[in-house]
Homo-oligomer: A and B are copies of this chain.
Amino acid sequence: MSGNTLGKLFCVSSFGESHGPAIGCVVDGCPPGLAISEADIQAELDRRKPGTSRHVTQRREPDTVEILSGVYEGVTTGTPIALLIRNQDQRSKDYSNIAETFRPGHADYGYWQKYGIRDPRGGGRSSARETAVRVAAGAIARKWLTERYGIVIRGYMAQLGPIEIPFNSWDDLDAEGNAFFAPNLAMLPELDAYMDELRKSGDSIGARINVVASGVPVGWGEPVYDRLDADIAYAMMSINAVKGVEIGAGFRSIVQRGTEHSDEMTPAGFLSNHAGGVLGGISSGQDVMVSVAIKPTSSIRLDRRSIDKAGNPVIVNTHGRHDPCVGIRATPIAESMLALVLIDHALRHRAQNGDVQCPTPRIAALAPEGTQAVASPRARGD
């Protein structure tokens, strides 16, 4: 129950520092009988891998994952699955100059104050490198959710700094050279140009990432506290650099009237999805829609005022290999966190309510996103 374990039944216990020997995790509680391979996990890891475009850190990390346990003859056995990723490209010298100082907006000040000691190499435990672990564990969760429930989890960059990216098509995400996870190919030239300018300036920028889960059965979530949306908010806010989380209409709800916000229902389905697929903390069968705000990278080349461990004033600038916009690589991470929350609630739901399925009339949704609401058969307790 310590701070580095995520989930109550599908539990991911994460470990590792940016420049230590390795990062990885133990995944406990995975249902048995799931076919999973290192290749399945590697495919997800490669989506967030550094060094894939000129817009992200040039650190070269193959991020090769090794399954150490819990899988026998290619199938999960129900025992803990340990995942190991050895660190390769560690240029500690990049960081030696900041061991005694604190980067404005960076975690190092908090870690030092909390523990009285910190591993300064590459940000140590606070490095975004840890998010590779989330993606690796998330790959297992996604495969099970898809195979058992047909759930599809997709994310995209909705805004890069001042540039809003109108959603065009999921297909655009797969386009060659789309390093932004931008759902709109027409925007790529503008995004490239913005990032080139930004990189030259030495500054960094924020971004908005949207994630959508389709096919989530109705009934998941454990109110009044462990609501599905509460656990999603927790999981998203736990990602490095995330400063805000919205479900459905999110902050737009403030100015909405009930007649606008509340999604009407007909035998044919919901007529809208301002709720973002969650009602009263329980999935409604509509798309689960999440949006997160990602702050600009705190490690930048420009001079910033700060203090050192002794409290003396210093000027800090960071010349390590950093992403000028961490949001660019955040999409697979946010998708993975949503997957991890969903599988945990899938297991929690059937623990209390069982998983026997009985027929029920489907309710099709006509949400703006055009997704199909799956009003799944209600789970019967006994």
Question: Which residue from B22, B26, B240, B375 sits with its C-beta under 8 Å from A4?
Answer: B26
- Asked if A370 is an interface residue, CB under 8 A from chain B, the answer is no
- Asked if A65 is an interface residue, CB under 8 A from chain B, the answer is no
Interface string of A208-239 (1 = CB under 8 A from B): 10000000001111111111011111111110
Task: Give the shortest distance, in Å, between A267 (CB) and chain B (any CB).
Answer: 5
Question: Which residue from B110, B229, B264 sits with its C-beta under 8 Å from A279?
Answer: B110
- Asked if A138 is an interface residue, CB under 8 A from chain B, the answer is no
- Asked if A166 is an interface residue, CB under 8 A from chain B, the answer is no
Cβ-defined contact, A225 with B14, below 8 A: yes
- Bound state CA distance, A16 and B278, in angstroms? 22
Cβ-defined contact, A82 with B22, below 8 A: yes
Cβ-defined contact, B80 with A282, below 8 A: no
- Bound state CA distance, A351 and B30, in angstroms? 10
- Bound state CA distance, A76 and B296, in angstroms? 31
- Asked if A136 is an interface residue, CB under 8 A from chain B, the answer is no
- Asked if A320 is an interface residue, CB under 8 A from chain B, the answer is no
Which one of A48-56, A100-108, A169-177, A179-187 is at the B interface? A100-108
Cβ-defined contact, A233 with B245, below 8 A: yes
Cβ-defined contact, B16 with A68, below 8 A: yes
Cβ-defined contact, B114 with A15, below 8 A: no
**Chain B hits for A257, CB < 8 A:** 161, 198, 203-205, 296
Cβ-defined contact, B381 with A258, below 8 A: no
Cβ-defined contact, A114 with B379, below 8 A: yes
Q: How many copies does the complex hold?
A: 4
- Interface residue total, chain A, C-beta cutoff 8 A: 171
- Asked if A69 is an interface residue, CB under 8 A from chain B, the answer is yes
* Least CB separation from A6: chain B residue: B225
- Bound state CA distance, A304 and B258, in angstroms? 10
Which of A109, A204, A220, A281 has the most chain B CB within a 10 Å cutoff? Answer: A109
**Chain B hits for A375, CB < 8 A:** 113
- Bound state CA distance, A3 and B253, in angstroms? 26
Q: Which of A120-163 contact B (CB under 8 A)?
A: 124-126, 130, 144, 147-148, 159, 161-162
Given A77-B125, A306-B265: A4 and B224 within 8 A (CB)?
yes
Question: Which residue from B4, B254, B263, B278 sits with its C-beta under 8 Å from A104?
Answer: B263
Cβ-defined contact, A9 with B17, below 8 A: no
Cβ-defined contact, B9 with A254, below 8 A: no
Cβ-defined contact, B82 with A24, below 8 A: yes
Sample 16 A-B pairs with CB under 8 A, ordered by A number. Answer: A2-B29, A4-B79, A5-B13, A9-B351, A24-B82, A72-B118, A77-B125, A78-B114, A78-B353, A79-B125, A110-B219, A113-B378, A225-B238, A243-B276, A258-B300, A267-B312
Kindly list 5 other residue pairs between chains A and B, CB separation below 8 angstroms, not including A31-B354, A116-B381, A226-B238. Answer: A21-B66, A75-B117, A223-B238, A254-B294, A262-B298
